[in-house]
Structure 1
Amino acid sequence: MALSNTATPIYYGRFREAVIRGEIPVCREVSMEMNRIDDLIANPGIYYDDKAVEGFVKFCENELTLTDGGDLKLLDSFKLWAEEIFGWYYFVDRSIYVPNPGGHGGHYERKRIKKRLITKQYLIIPRGAAKTMYDAFIQSYFLTVDVSTTQQCTTAPTMKQAEEVLSPIRTALARSKGPLLKFMTEGSLQNTTGAKADRVKLASTKKGIENFLTNSLLEVRPMTIDKLQGRRDRVATVDEWLSCDIREDPISALEQGASKNEDYLIVATSSEGTVRNGCGDTIKMELMDILKGEYINPHVSIWYYKLDSIDEVTNPDMWLKANPNLGQTVSYETYQLDVERAEKAPGSRNDILAKRFNIPMEGYTYFFPYEETLPHRHRDYWQMPCALGADLSQGDDFCAFTFLFPMANGFFGVKTRDYITSYTLSKLPQAMRQKYDQFMQEGTLQVFDGTVLDMMQVYDDLDNFIQQNDYDVRCFGYDPYNAKDFVERWCTENAPFGVEKVIQGAKTESVPLGELKKLSEQRKLLFDEALMQFAMGNCIALEDTNGNRKLLKRRSDQKIDAVAAMMDAYIAWKMNREAFE
């Protein structure tokens, strides 16, 4: 079949029929992508070519092998994804300079040029769906079949992880199963001065994988913007960009360099991560806008597999929504064991839901599991006695105050009030900014103009807040870092009675952290604010060999200050318990 602007793609057509018949369940995001492909079929300006797709399938099955060297039969899902990359084309008119036959002078002619439509493909699929193999197939296809000199790269959070893309290609070179790779690997790599016919044409070297016929190179790069920008990669693959804790967008950096080429391709594969509010979430928000049709970008292909609801985890018939290769690259038994483990070991639950079912969860081996961070119903503590904890930290950062209200039967009411500057707010990534807007709406986060917080302004605002709510503050625990001016004014205006200094470290934190954890497990910390939920969800506790624990302030943007302030308030309450009798 030649180019057609009305034909339905072969593998997509089969997939769509299976979905309509009810054989393959699909999630909302995949059905949105199917609508986008249906739009491409209906668009008279975009053409489908089946030969390019079949060429890729034949190359993979005839030349490449599995990682263990076994014969390769391309999965239906791989054909579906590759068809969207290789199947769609459009034409553009260009003015091209044509020199005269004599070599002197020339003239411009308008020519129609055929261009590949898809330049970026995002695959968000759970663990065990052979995403890395798909990356390897795309890279090896362009490295051997493309006759132009290309620069290609693969990147992942660690260099060793990125090497996994090269591993199947090296196995295929060692086995050289098909006629093309047999020819390309004939000869010796050491033969540098003899006949060119006796030299190897495609080999794995210390640079990466090199094609000596075209001088093309596939190399591994670290996932940082300064190592990725300015390159001119024809093909780039990004692995596990959602699973790691990155604050910068490696895909945009690659795209800026790759766009120097006419027909570039970036394939970004990942399973869902447990790190929220980073760069990955911001990219996902843009992808969802494209899927919903709010932002039209036909050059991007998005396959986002996940369960529509957490209730579907218990229904094995729905697991295909999350992993289209279930039963082929990973067994149902593996999934069943993980589901049972998630029920029995709550600490691993979030990680399993994110990695196996692509349900975005917050935190994995965090101090407070997900169930303990769910807020309680709203309460007011008008005229009740309380302990106040303060975590003032840097003047340009978060400044947190938490009120702890001792109640009957060992329950504690919790309220928090936090302060940041407008400069700190302006530097936040988009996904994080939305979170902060929510805190500002509920009134727990106050934003002051400027670059550095004025502690006296913070004091005045907090004093007004206490008076408005008529809180009876009977003791005050504070972390001494950057707290001198604030504490001196507090002692002057409220007397030094009940003011306790809490030095951060395992020595002072271990016991109160353990006690707060027990209260949290019994749901005796009665908090009703999203900011407190967010801070508890970010808490990681470092534990030494003796079992002593202290809060890990791993990064300045993972806010745990409200929990640190709660711990200071708890310590102050313990040291002044007689004031509450």
Structure 2
Amino acid sequence: MALSNTAVPKYYGAFRDAVIRGEIPVCREIEMEMNRIDELIADRGIYYDDRPVEGWIAYCEEELTLTDGGNLVMLDTFKLWGEQIFGWYYFEEREVWEPNPNGPGGHFVVKTIKKRLINKQYLIVGRGAAKSLYDSCIQSYFENIDTSTTHQITTAPTMKQAEEVIQPIKTAITRAKGPLFRFLTEGSLQNTTGAKANRVKLASTKKGIENFFTGSLIEVRPMSIDKLQGLRTKVSTIDEWLSGDVREDVVGAIEQGASKLDDYLIIATSSEGTVRNGSGDTIKMELMKILKGEYPAINTSIWWYKLDSIDEISEPNKWLKANPNLGKTVTFEVYQRDVERAENAPAARNDILAKRFGLPMEGYTYYFTYEETLKYRKRDFSGMPCSMGGDLSRGDDFCDFTFMFPLPNGTFGIKTRAYISDLTFRKLPSAMRSKYEQFISEGSLIVMEGTVLDMMQVYEDLDNHVAERGYDVRCFGYDPYNAKEFVERWASENGSFGIEKVIQGAKTESVPLGELKKLSEERMLLFDEELMSFCMGNCITITDTNGNRKLYKKRGDQKIDAVAAMMDAYIAYKLNRDAFE
């Protein structure tokens, strides 16, 4: 088939027909992606070319192997996903410098350039769908078929996990079953001074997978913005970006460097996770906007497999919605065993629902996205009325007080003040100690002398702080654990009006947490201290099957005390709203 702006892609057409016949069930997100592909077919400015697609498939089946050395037979899903990358093109006019053929100098001429359409592909699919092998097929093809010198990277939450993409390529090099790999692996890696014809042309080295013909390299990189930004990578694969505890937008960091090249490609593959990272949640919100057509991003391909409802877990014929390779790369029996385990082992239920069926249900969730934890410019709320919240539950560690200042436009000013004992501070690891020193320098963390905190000393310091700033504290919400002595003195010196006991638990916390989340999403919580940003970034909630939330406090090294105190202050404010009129 020649280049065409009317043709239906071969493998997508077969997939669409199977969906229409009811042979393949699809979820709502895949249906929306199919609508986007139909729009590409109807767009006369976008062209489909089947030759690169067939070339990629032929290369993979002829040269590559599975991780165990077995023959690789391209799956229909791989062909469908790869067709999105290699099949779509558009043309643009560009001024190109053309040197004079008979001497020095030259001139600019306008030429029509053919460009690949898809630069990013997101693949969210259940565990066992051979996502890493698909990444390997893309990486190997670009390194050995593209004649330009390419820098390619693969990254994952751990380096060992990222090496799973490299491993099938290493096996294929060792086996060298196809004519191209037999030619590229002839010779010796130790031959560095003899004839180049006797040197190996493709090898696995300590750098990664190197092609010595073109100087191309596939290497493993840590999943950290510091290690990924500024690279000129032509092909980047990001594995398990939703599964790990990653707080940074690594996709954006890679794209900033890769966009220096015209035809870069970023493939982000992952299954759902129970502890989801803030950047991952933000990316998924962006993907949903693209799928809904709220803003066009025709350079992005999105294959988001999941069940539409938790009720579909009881219908095995719907499981293909979450894993289209079910029965090929992973058996129905494995899924059936996981379903039975989820019913009988509640501790494993969350992981199974997320990883197998794409349903991030009950479990640990980072509550505030990264954007919501960014602090504002410095503000001064001296002399203003406020609600104070106190979290005194850790007498040997953090003790936090947060002040909420209701502002006329419905926003809330936030200030916080935390206390820690000198012994606890001295025992901190060096990295955490430097973070705490940052809080101390901004004045939001006070180190008190002694082994444990003396609540009366804390009271006197806090009372002096309130007097110095002129805060008009009109109500006080507190967690009753370890707070009796402090609250009794507060009541005796300031009166008992507006003092509210906040008992921890989903029954008490669910509604105020939901309202605080809405306020943070609209950027109506105006905090300017790094300590509050730090605590919001650590904030994890546990959600039960009824959707009720409560704060998760067991991770001692990840402080959320300022958020807990802010919630107490907010509850006290709601119960005493008349005091602020």
Confirm or deny a common fold (TM above 0.5).
yes
Deviation at 1:564, TM superposition (A): 11
Once the two structures are aligned, what percentage of the paired residues are identical? Answer: 60
Matches within 5 A, 1:148-187: 148-187=148-187
CA contact (8 A) 1:155 1:162 kept: yes
Would you say 1:82 and 2:79 are equivalent positions?
A: no
Q: In structure 2, what residue type is equivalent to 1:185?
A: T
Deviation at 1:491, TM superposition (A): 4.3
Aligned residue among 540, 552, 569 for 2:555? 552
CA–CA distance in 2 between the matches of 1:556 and 1:71? Answer: 51
CA–CA distance in 2 between the matches of 1:14 and 1:558? Answer: 55
CA–CA distance in 2 between the matches of 1:9 and 1:234? Answer: 25
CA contact (8 A) 1:233 1:257 kept: yes
Aligned residue among 531, 541, 556 for 1:537? 541
Per the alignment, residue 119 of structure 1 pairs with 119
Would you say 1:69 and 2:72 are equivalent positions?
A: no
Per the alignment, residue 217 of structure 1 pairs with 217
Per the alignment, residue 473 of structure 2 pairs with 460
Per the alignment, residue 348 of structure 2 pairs with 348
Q: Secondary structure at the match of 1:303?
A: strand
Measured on the aligned residues, the alpha-carbon RMSD in Å equals: 3.7
Q: In structure 2, what residue type is equivalent to 1:156?
A: A
- Relative to structure 1, the CA distance from residue 46 to residue 532 in structure 2 (aligned partners, 3 Å threshold; closer, same or farther) is closer
Q: In structure 2, what residue type is equivalent to 1:150?
A: T
Per the alignment, residue 470 of structure 1 pairs with none
CA contact (8 A) 1:476 1:499 kept: no
Q: In structure 2, what residue type is equivalent to 1:493?
A: N
CA–CA distance in 2 between the matches of 1:4 and 1:423? Answer: 61
- Relative to structure 1, the CA distance from residue 243 to residue 237 in structure 2 (aligned partners, 3 Å threshold; closer, same or farther) is same
Matches within 5 A, 1:33-432: 33-276=33-276, 278-363=278-363, 390-391=391-392, 399=402, 421-422=413-414
Deviation at 1:552, TM superposition (A): 2.0
CA–CA distance in 2 between the matches of 1:313 and 1:36? Answer: 28
Q: Secondary structure at the match of 1:187?
A: coil
Q: In structure 2, what residue type is equivalent to 1:221?
A: R
Q: Secondary structure at the match of 1:11?
A: helix
CA contact (8 A) 1:36 1:291 kept: yes
Q: Secondary structure at the match of 1:108?
A: strand
CA–CA distance in 2 between the matches of 1:345 and 1:563? Answer: 35
Per the alignment, residue 431 of structure 2 pairs with none
CA contact (8 A) 1:307 1:318 kept: yes
CA contact (8 A) 2:136 2:165 kept: yes
Q: In structure 2, what residue type is equivalent to 1:529?
A: V
CA–CA distance in 1 between the matches of 2:566 and 2:152? Answer: 46
CA–CA distance in 2 between the matches of 1:104 and 1:330? Answer: 62
CA contact (8 A) 1:151 1:217 kept: yes
Deviation at 1:346, TM superposition (A): 1.2
Per the alignment, residue 494 of structure 2 pairs with 493
Q: Secondary structure at the match of 1:460?
A: strand
CA contact (8 A) 1:391 1:399 kept: no
CA–CA distance in 2 between the matches of 1:559 and 1:269? Answer: 35
CA contact (8 A) 2:392 2:398 kept: no
CA–CA distance in 2 between the matches of 1:34 and 1:138? Answer: 22
CA contact (8 A) 1:63 1:177 kept: yes
Q: Secondary structure at the match of 1:93?
A: strand
Q: Secondary structure at the match of 1:32?
A: helix
Deviation at 1:528, TM superposition (A): 5.5
Deviation at 1:536, TM superposition (A): 8.2
Deviation at 1:106, TM superposition (A): 1.7
Q: Secondary structure at the match of 2:475?
A: helix
CA contact (8 A) 1:396 1:451 kept: no
CA contact (8 A) 1:96 1:111 kept: yes
Deviation at 1:553, TM superposition (A): 3.6
- Relative to structure 1, the CA distance from residue 348 to residue 491 in structure 2 (aligned partners, 3 Å threshold; closer, same or farther) is farther
- Relative to structure 1, the CA distance from residue 536 to residue 147 in structure 2 (aligned partners, 3 Å threshold; closer, same or farther) is closer
Deviation at 1:558, TM superposition (A): 9.6
TM-score of the superposed pair, with normalisation by structure 1: 0.72
Q: In structure 2, what residue type is equivalent to 1:38?
A: D
1:542-567 residue CA offsets vs partner (Å, 9 max, x unmatched): xxxxxxx983244346987379989x
CA–CA distance in 1 between the matches of 2:124 and 2:562? Answer: 27
Per the alignment, residue 376 of structure 1 pairs with none
- Relative to structure 1, the CA distance from residue 203 to residue 104 in structure 2 (aligned partners, 3 Å threshold; closer, same or farther) is same
CA contact (8 A) 1:64 1:172 kept: yes
Matches within 5 A, 1:500-539: 529=511, 531=513, 537-538=541-542
TM-score of the superposed pair, with normalisation by structure 2: 0.72
- Relative to structure 1, the CA distance from residue 191 to residue 12 in structure 2 (aligned partners, 3 Å threshold; closer, same or farther) is same
CA contact (8 A) 1:135 1:165 kept: yes
CA contact (8 A) 1:397 1:420 kept: no
Deviation at 1:99, TM superposition (A): 1.5
- Relative to structure 1, the CA distance from residue 536 to residue 218 in structure 2 (aligned partners, 3 Å threshold; closer, same or farther) is closer
- Relative to structure 1, the CA distance from residue 183 to residue 552 in structure 2 (aligned partners, 3 Å threshold; closer, same or farther) is same
CA–CA distance in 1 between the matches of 2:209 and 2:562? Answer: 43
Per the alignment, residue 578 of structure 1 pairs with none
CA–CA distance in 1 between the matches of 2:474 and 2:128? Answer: 52
